């Protein structure tokens, strides 16, 4: 007993009880976190949603100057086959003028095809095509003007229209997502 | 008491003067004087609170994904199992949780019966408890209907048909319950609504249960009145730690079921979608209803069976007046203690018989077990109080412990 007392006195700063408190507390915290995670994670998109997260689009029926809107992850995606004039107009823009500078080349994989999420970066309305001061898109909610590359030019929206991930499976088909 | 909560900071004082909520919780969950001799059978109150909260939280989350529609319910449960992140875990916790809830509540009730916790001055705590049990039964039954499997559907059919035993109005009542001429989607949606509501009613009754408990304070294994201060210790940390230890052991068993055999307490037929044109070969309720199911089947009369089953629960509310003995704890009741264990075995036997086909020897045994169940409360309990000569009660709750220690010290000296 006496030797034990001596040891306790020498280590008076860190006691066995401190160790027990710390380990119990740590295990409780880790356990509570592990238990809480499933309750948080269950609200994330589930497997049935993820299974539908990519969409294939057939481009062959779209003529130059036409665009289609498809539904991808519950949001509209604009696929536009641009005319030569629209491409030239988009490429000619001085970057310095833009609120969110981006070249047209970085926004397309093939200049003819413009693929972008049709959700205004201001507050989520869907912009109207072939409208606005820049011959591109115009959002009716708060008056944002986008050009023929989908870049914001005028109005309250802070960003260019978003470009989703997509790949050309062949010349006439793209897969979004 | 001197160590009552005293607000220190200016903000705490300001709040406490207007809403003394910290004082309330401190008084009832920290300082509350608790008999110092409570054993582990007294930890089920805390465990049951944990069960209720677990069911409410997992149920809330499941309701985010479940669809209460006769055509979609079954698929939505499979969607929870396969697609929703951790949906399998949440559903298994909820389904297993119902069983764990009933294990805990049966042990909690058995504790009260053994130690006479239902007797004066704690009758109302017990009666509120019976109502909580009744609500639990209703909630668990309605919850079992929601997956809309074969057992859900036919369980709902059998139980709602109990009401057709009511003379004259039987058919009108069942049609009213169903909202249809048979069990259908109309019943499913109203069961979902009520299944969502009832846990909150239980929660309210639990508050009354604890409130009523905190007027006389806890009973204890000796069943004698305690002297505050001398015989009591503050609830925190003494019983908080004891309750938490018991809770952790309970959670280990709970987790064992959830992760290793989540379906062992259910019936595989409930993974077949409800079919109104075909009854499963062998209908059994969930295990925790089996004793009452055996009582229902023991009576060879439709209305009689229903009355017997309802009475089996209702009679519990009258126990405080059926028991004529002044002595609370069975520790000091040598004769009644024997009958107490016969009742426990009888109840387990009824549970076993409820799972067997109602024919031959099972039916005869079921009738005998049902007879004893009622005789115990109507005859045994009132009579033994007069016949029995109880053992002398200790003068204080310390006496049995001290005398035991003295005996040990003596035997130690001899060795």
Q: Tokens in use for A63? A: 């003529």
ipTM confidence = 0.85
Q: Tokens in use for A48? A: 């049935």
Nearest residue of B to residue A46 by CA position? B84
Supply φ then ψ for residue A56, to 5 degrees. Answer: -100, 140
List residues of chain B with CB under 8 Å from any CB of chain A.
Answer: 57, 61, 64-65, 79, 82-87, 89-90
With 50 as the cut, is the pLDDT of residue B2 above it?
A: no
* Pairwise CB contact (< 8 Å): A47 & B64: no
Q: Where are the alpha helices (DSSP H) in B87-234?
A: 87-115, 123-145, 150-161, 170-178, 185-213
Which of A35, A46, A53 to mutate to test binding with chain B, by most B CBs within 10 Å of its CB?
Answer: A46
Question: What tens digit of pLDDT does each residue of B67-113 get?
Answer: 999 999 999 999 999 999 999 999 999 999 999 999 999 999 999 99
**Mean pLDDT along residues B258-281:** 92
Helix-helix angle B150-161:B185-213, to 10 degrees = 70
Which residue in this structure is represented by tokens 């994904």? B65
* Pairwise CB contact (< 8 Å): B61 & A41: no
* Pairwise CB contact (< 8 Å): A44 & B57: no
Question: What tens digit of pLDDT does each residue of B248-260 get?
Answer: 999 999 999 999 9
Which residue in this structure is represented by tokens 């011959």? A135
* Pairwise CB contact (< 8 Å): B90 & A43: no
* pLDDT score, position B414: 53
Beta carbons within 8 Å of A29's beta carbon, 6+ residues apart: none
Question: How far is B271 from B274, CA to CA, in rounded Å?
Answer: 9
Q: Nearest CA of chain B to the CA of A128: how many Å?
A: 35
Out of B61, B83, B90, the one facing A47 most closely (by C-beta) is: B83
Q: With contacts defined as CB-CB under 8 Å, which chain B residues touch A28?
A: none
Chain A, residues 22-81, CB within 8 A of chain B, namely 37-39, 41-44, 46-49
* pLDDT score, position A12: 66
* Pairwise CB contact (< 8 Å): A42 & B61: yes
Chain-wide mean pLDDT for chain B? 93
* Pairwise CB contact (< 8 Å): A41 & B57: no
Out of A42, A48, A49, the one facing B86 most closely (by C-beta) is: A42
pTM of the complete model: 0.87
Question: How far is A61 from A84, CA to CA, in rounded Å?
Answer: 18
Compute the count of residue pairs across chains A and B with CB atoms less than 8 Å apart.
33
Q: Nearest CA of chain A to the CA of B45: how many Å?
A: 22
Q: Tokens in use for B345? A: 């075995």
Contact yes or no for A112/A118 (Cβ under 8 A): no
CB-neighbour burial class of residue B360 (10 A; exposed 0-12, middle 13-18, buried 19+)? exposed
Nearest residue of A to residue B89 by CA position? A38
Q: With contacts defined as CB-CB under 8 Å, which chain B residues touch A39?
A: 57, 61, 86, 90
**Mean pLDDT along residues B372-394:** 96
Q: Nearest CA of chain A to the CA of B407: how many Å?
A: 27
Q: Nearest CA of chain B to the CA of A68: how many Å?
A: 32
Helix-helix angle B87-115:B334-354, to 10 degrees = 150
Domain boundaries, chain B: 1-31, 40-222+230-283, 297-392
* pLDDT score, position A51: 85
**Whole-Å CA distances, B263 to A35, B53, B94, B99, B154:** 21, 22, 12, 11, 19
Question: What tens digit of pLDDT does each residue of B195-246 get?
Answer: 999 999 999 999 999 999 999 999 999 999 998 888 999 999 999 999 999 9
Residues of chain A with pLDDT under 70: 1-12
Question: What tens digit of pLDDT does each residue of B8-56 get?
Answer: 999 999 999 999 999 999 999 999 999 999 999 999 999 999 999 999 9
CATH of domain B40-222+230-283: 1.20.810.10
Q: Is A122 tagged catalytic?
A: no
* pLDDT score, position B385: 93
């Amino acid at each position: 007993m006496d030797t034990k007392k001596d040891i306790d006195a020498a280590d008076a700063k860190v006691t066995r009880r401190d160790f027990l408190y710390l380990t119990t507390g740590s295990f409780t915290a880790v356990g509570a976190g592990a238990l809480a995670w499933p309750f948080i994670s269950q609200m994330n998109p589930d497997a049935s949603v993820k299974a539908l997260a990519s969409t294939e689009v057939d481009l062959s029926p779209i003529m130059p100057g036409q665009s289609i809107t498809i539904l991808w992850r519950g949001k509209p995606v604009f696929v536009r086959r641009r005319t030569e004039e629209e491409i030239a107009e988009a490429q000619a823009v001085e970057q310095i003028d833009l609120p969110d500078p981006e070249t047209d080349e970085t926004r397309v994989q093939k200049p003819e095809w413009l693929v972008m999420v049709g959700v205004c970066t201001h507050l989520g309305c869907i912009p109207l095509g072939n409208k606005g001061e820049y011959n591109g898109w115009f959002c009716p909610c708060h008056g944002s003007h986008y050009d023929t590359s989908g870049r914001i030019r005028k109005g309250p929206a802070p960003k260019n229209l978003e470009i989703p991930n997509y790949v050309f499976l062949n010349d006439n088909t793209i897969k979004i997502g | 008491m001197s160590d009552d909560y005293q607000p220190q900071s200016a903000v705490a004082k300001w709040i406490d003067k207007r809403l003394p909520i910290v004082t309330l919780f401190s008084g009832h969950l920290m300082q509350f004087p608790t008999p110092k001799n409570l054993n582990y059978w007294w930890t089920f109150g805390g465990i049951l609170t944990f069960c209720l909260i677990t069911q409410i939280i997992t149920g809330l989350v499941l309701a985010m994904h479940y669809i209460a529609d006769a055509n979609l319910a079954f698929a939505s449960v499979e969607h929870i199992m396969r697609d929703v992140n951790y949906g399998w875990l949440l559903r298994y916790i909820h389904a297993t949780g119902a069983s764990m809830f009933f294990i805990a509540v049966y042990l909690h009730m058995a504790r009260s019966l053994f130690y006479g916790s239902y007797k004066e001055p704690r009758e109302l705590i017990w009666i509120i408890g019976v109502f909580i049990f009744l609500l639990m039964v209703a909630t668990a039954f309605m919850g079992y209907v929601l997956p809309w499997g074969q057992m859900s559907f036919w369980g709902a059919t059998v139980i709602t048909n109990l009401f057709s035993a009511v003379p004259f109005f039987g058919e009108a009542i069942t049609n009213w319950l169903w909202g249809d001429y048979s069990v259908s989607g109309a019943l499913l949606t109203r069961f979902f609504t009520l299944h969502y509501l009832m846990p909150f009613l239980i929660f309210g009754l639990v508050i009354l249960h604890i409130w009523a408990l905190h007027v006389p304070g806890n009973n204890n294994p000796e069943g004698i009145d305690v002297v505050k201060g001398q015989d009591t210790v503050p609830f925190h940390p003494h019983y908080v730690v004891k309750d938490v230890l018991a809770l952790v052991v309970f959670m280990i068993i709970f987790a064992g079921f959830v992760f290793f055999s989540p379906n062992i307490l259910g019936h595989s037929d409930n993974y077949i979608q409800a079919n109104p044109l075909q009854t499963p070969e062998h209908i059994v309720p969930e295990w925790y209803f089996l004793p009452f199911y055996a009582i229902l089947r023991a009576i060879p009369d439709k209305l009689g069976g229903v009355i017997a089953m309802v009475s089996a629960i209702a009679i519990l509310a009258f126990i405080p007046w059926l028991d004529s003995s002044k002595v609370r704890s069975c520790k000091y009741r040598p004769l009644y203690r024997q009958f107490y264990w016969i009742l426990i075995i009888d109840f387990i036997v009824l549970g076993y018989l409820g799972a067997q086909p109602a024919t031959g020897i099972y039916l005869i045994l079921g009738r005998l077990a049902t007879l004893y169940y009622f005789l115990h409360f109507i005859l045994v309990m009132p009579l033994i109080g007069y016949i029995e000569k109880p053992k002398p009660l200790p003068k204080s709750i310390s006496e049995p412990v001290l005398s035991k220690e003295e005996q040990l010290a003596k035997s130690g000296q001899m060795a």
